[in-house]
Chains A and B, each alone.
Chain A
Amino acid sequence: DAMVIQNPRYQVTQFGKPVTLSCSQTLNHNVMYWYQQKSSQAPKLLFHYYDKDFNNEADTPDNFQSRRPNTSFCFLDIRSPGLGDAAMYLCATSGNTEAFFGQGTRLTVV
Chain B
Amino acid sequence: AQSVTQPDIHITVSEGASLELRCNYSYGATPYLFWYVQSPGQGLQLLLKYFSGDTLVQGIKGFEAEFKRSQSSFNLRKPSVHWSDAAEYFCAVGNTGGFKTIFGAGTRLFVKA
Q: Measuring CB to CB, which residues of chain A are less than 8 angstroms from any residue of chain B?
A: 4, 6, 31, 33, 40-43, 45, 48, 88, 90, 92, 94-104, 106
Which residue of A is nearest B105, CB measured? A42
B32 contact set on A, CB distance < 8 A: 98
A97 to B98 Cα, complex, angstroms: 6
> Which parts of B81-113 form the interface with A (CB within 8 Å)?
90, 94, 96-106, 108
Given A97-B49, A97-B97, A98-B34, verify A42-B103 contact (CB < 8 Å): yes
A103 contact set on B, CB distance < 8 A: 42-43
A1 to chain B, nearest CB (A): 14
Given A42-B103, A42-B104, A42-B106, verify A98-B44 contact (CB < 8 Å): no
A95 to B96 Cα, complex, angstroms: 9
B106 contact set on A, CB distance < 8 A: 40-42
A2 to B108 Cα, complex, angstroms: 26
Closest 9 CB pairs of A and B: A99-B98, A98-B98, A42-B103, A101-B44, A103-B43, A101-B43, A94-B98, A96-B97, A99-B101
Give which listed residue, A6, A95, A99, A106, contacts B41 with CB less than 8 A: A106
What DSSP secondary structure best describes chain A's contact surface?
A: strand
* Size category, B interface: 20 to 34
A104 to B43 Cα, complex, angstroms: 5
B36 contact set on A, CB distance < 8 A: 101
User: At the interface, yes or no: B17 with Cβ under 8 Å from chain A?
Assistant: no
Give which listed residue, A41, A45, A104, contacts B105 with CB less than 8 A: A41
A81 to B100 Cα, complex, angstroms: 25
B40 to chain A, nearest CB (A): 10
Given A31-B99, A42-B106, A106-B41, verify A98-B49 contact (CB < 8 Å): yes
User: At the interface, yes or no: B46 with Cβ under 8 Å from chain A?
Assistant: yes
A109 to chain B, nearest CB (A): 17
B97 to chain A, nearest CB (A): 5
Which residue of B is nearest A98, CB measured? B98
